[in-house]
Structure 1
Amino acid sequence: MPYVPATPPPTAFRQQTIDEVGQPLAATTFVVVDLETTGGAPADAGITEIGAVKVRGGERLGEFGSLVNPGMTIPPFIAVLTGITDVMVAEAPRLEEALPAFLEFAKGSVLVAHNAPFDVGFLKAACAKFGYPWPGFPVVDTVTLARRTLLRDEVPNCKLATLAAYFRTTTEPCHRALDDARATVDVLHALLERVGSHQVHTLSDLTEFSRAVSPVQRRKKSLADGLPHTPGVYVFRDAKDRPLYVGTSGDIATRVRSYFTAAETRARMTEMLTAAERIEAVECAHALEAGVRELRLIAAHKPPYNRRSKYPERVHWLKLTAEAYPRLSVVRKLSDDGGSYLGPFSSRRTAELAAAGVYDAVPLRQCTQRLSVRSTSPACALAEIGRCAAPCEHRISPEAYGEHAAAFRDLTRGDPGVLVDRLLARIGAFAADQRYEEAAVVRGRLVALLRTAVRMQRLRSLTALPELLAARRDAVGGWELAVVRYGRLAAAGTAPVGVHPRPVLDTLLATAETVRSAPGPTPCATAEETERILTFLELPDTRIVEATEPAVAAGPGWACPVAGAERFRDLLRKADSARTVADPSGESNLPRTLHRPARATA
Structure 2
Amino acid sequence: MSVPVFKVRRVEAVQGTLDELGTPLRDVTFVVFDLETTGGSAAEHAITEIGAVKVRGGEVLGEFATLVDPGGPIPPFISVLTGITDAMVMAAPKMPEVLPAFLEFAAGATLVAHNAPFDMGFLKAACAAGGYPPPANPVVDTADLARRVLTRDETPNCKLATLARLFRSVTDPCHRALSDAKATVDVLHGLIGRVGSYGVHTLEDLRSFVRAPTPEQQRKRHLAQSVPGAPGVYVFEDAKGEALYIGKSSNLRNRVRSYFTASETRPRVREMVGIAESVRSIVCATALEAEVRELRMIGAAKPRYNKRSRFPERVVWLKLTDEPFPRLSVVRDLKDDHGTYLGPFSSSRLADEARAALHEAIPLRQCTQRLSPRVRRSACTLAGLGRCGAPCEGRESEGDYSRHVESARHAMERDPEVVVSAIETRMRRLSAEQRYEEAAVDRDRLAAYVRTAARMQRLRSLTAIPQMVAAAPAFDGGWDIHVVRHGRLAAAGVMPRGAHPVPYVDALVATAETVSPGPGPIPAASAEETECVLRWLEAPGVRLVRVDGTWSLPAYGAGRLRARMERAYQGLPGHQPREGKPLR
1:569 to 548, 559, 570: 559
Q: What is the correspondence of 1:575-590 to structure 2 with a 5 Å cutoff?
A: 575-576=565-566
Asked if the contact 1:234–1:281 (Cα under 8 Å) also holds between the matched residues in 2, the reply is yes
User: Contact between 1:224 and 1:256, CA under 8 Å: does it hold in 2?
Assistant: yes
**Cα distance change on mapping 1:126 and 1:559 into 2, 3 Å:** closer
Give the Cα–Cα distance (whole angstroms) in 1 for the partners of residues 62 and 362 of structure 2: 61
Tell me, in whole angstroms, the C-alpha distance in 2 between the residues paired with 1:464 and 1:193.
53
Q: Distance in 1 between matches of 2:326 and 2:445?
A: 21
1:75-101 CA-partner distances (Å, limit 9, x unpaired): 9779989xx9797766977979997x8
Q: Does 2:553 align with 1:560?
A: yes
- In the alignment, what sits opposite 1:554? none
* Letter matched to residue 431 of structure 1: R
Residue 398 of structure 1 corresponds to 398
**Following the alignment from structure 2 to structure 1, what is the Cα–Cα distance between the partners of residues 165 and 460?**
51
Name the CA distance, whole Å, in 2 between partners of 1:429 and 1:494: 54
Shift of the alpha carbon at 1:471?
Answer: 0.7
Q: For 1:31-110, what aligned pairs fall within 5 Å after superposition?
A: 32=30, 73=71
- 204-213 or 126-135: bigger deviation: 126-135
**Letter in structure 2 aligned against 1:496:** P
Contact kept, 8 Å, 2:19 with 2:202, in 1: the verdict is yes
% identical equivalent positions: 43
Q: 1:250 to 1:351 in 2, by over 3 A?
A: same
Kept in 2, the 8 Å contact 1:74–1:86? The answer is no
Asked if structure 2 preserves the Cα contact closer than 8 Å seen for 1:482 and 1:493, the reply is: yes
Corresponding residue SS for 1:491: strand
- Of 496-505 and 304-313, more deviation after overlay is shown by 496-505
Question: What is the TM-score normalised by the length of structure 2?
Answer: 0.73
The residue type equivalent to 2:21 in the other structure is: L
Partner of residue 24, structure 1? 20
TM-score by length of 1: 0.71
1:295 matched residue in structure 2: 295
Aligned match of 1:424: 421
| Deviation at residue 468 of structure 1 after TM alignment | 0.6
| Number of residue-to-residue matches in the alignment | 545
Unaligned runs of 5+ in 2: 1-9, 577-584
Partner of residue 218, structure 2: 218
- Gaps spanning 5+ residues in structure 1: where? 1-13, 550-556, 587-602
User: Over residues 183-232 of structure 1, what are the superposed CA-to-partner deviations in whole Å (9 max), with x where a residue is unaligned?
Assistant: 69x959x959975x767789987887453221221222221222122222
Q: Which one has more relative contact order, counting CA pairs under 8 Å at least 6 apart?
A: 2
1:354 matched to 2:351: no
Deviation at 1:505? 1.6
Residue 502, structure 1, aligned to residue 502, structure 2: yes
* Deviation string, structure 1 residues 26-69 (Cα, Å, up to 9, x no partner): 788966566666767788999998999899xx899xx9999999
SS at match of 1:449: helix
Cα distance in 2 for residues equivalent to 1:291 and 1:161 = 32
Secondary structure of 2:220's aligned partner = helix
Per the alignment, residue 457 of structure 1 pairs with: 457
Q: CA deviation at 1:483?
A: 0.1
Alpha-carbon deviations, 1:225-246, whole Å to 9, x = none? 2212222211111111111111
- How much does 1:511 deviate? 1.3
Which has the larger displacement, 132-141 or 370-379?
132-141
What is the DSSP-based 3-state SS (H/G/I as helix, E as strand, rest coil) of the residue aligned with 2:373? coil
Tell me whether 1:239 sits opposite 2:235 in the alignment.
Answer: no
After superposition, residues 146-545 of structure 1 pair within 5 angstroms as 187=189, 191=192, 195=196, 209-413=209-413, 415-416=414-415, 420-421=417-418, 424-425=421-422, 427-428=424-425, 431=428, 434-435=432-433, 437=436, 441-545=441-545
Give the conservation status (yes or no) of the 8 Å contact 1:163–1:187: no
Tell me, in whole angstroms, the C-alpha distance in 2 between the residues paired with 1:74 and 1:495. Answer: 54
Distance in 1 of aligned mates of 2:521 and 2:444: 24
Is 373-382 or 453-462 further displaced after alignment? Answer: 373-382
* Distance change (3 Å), C-alpha of 1:66 and 1:579: closer
Per-residue CA distance 1:143-184 (angstroms, 9 max, x = gap): 877877788899996979969996999xx9x9679x98x969
Residue 544 to residue 131, structure 1, CA distance change in 2 (3 Å): same
1:297-356 alpha-carbon deviations (Å, 9 max, x no partner): 011111111121111111222222222222222211111222222222222122222222
Cα–Cα, structure 1 residues 515 and 67, in superposed 2: closer, same or farther, change >3 Å? Answer: closer
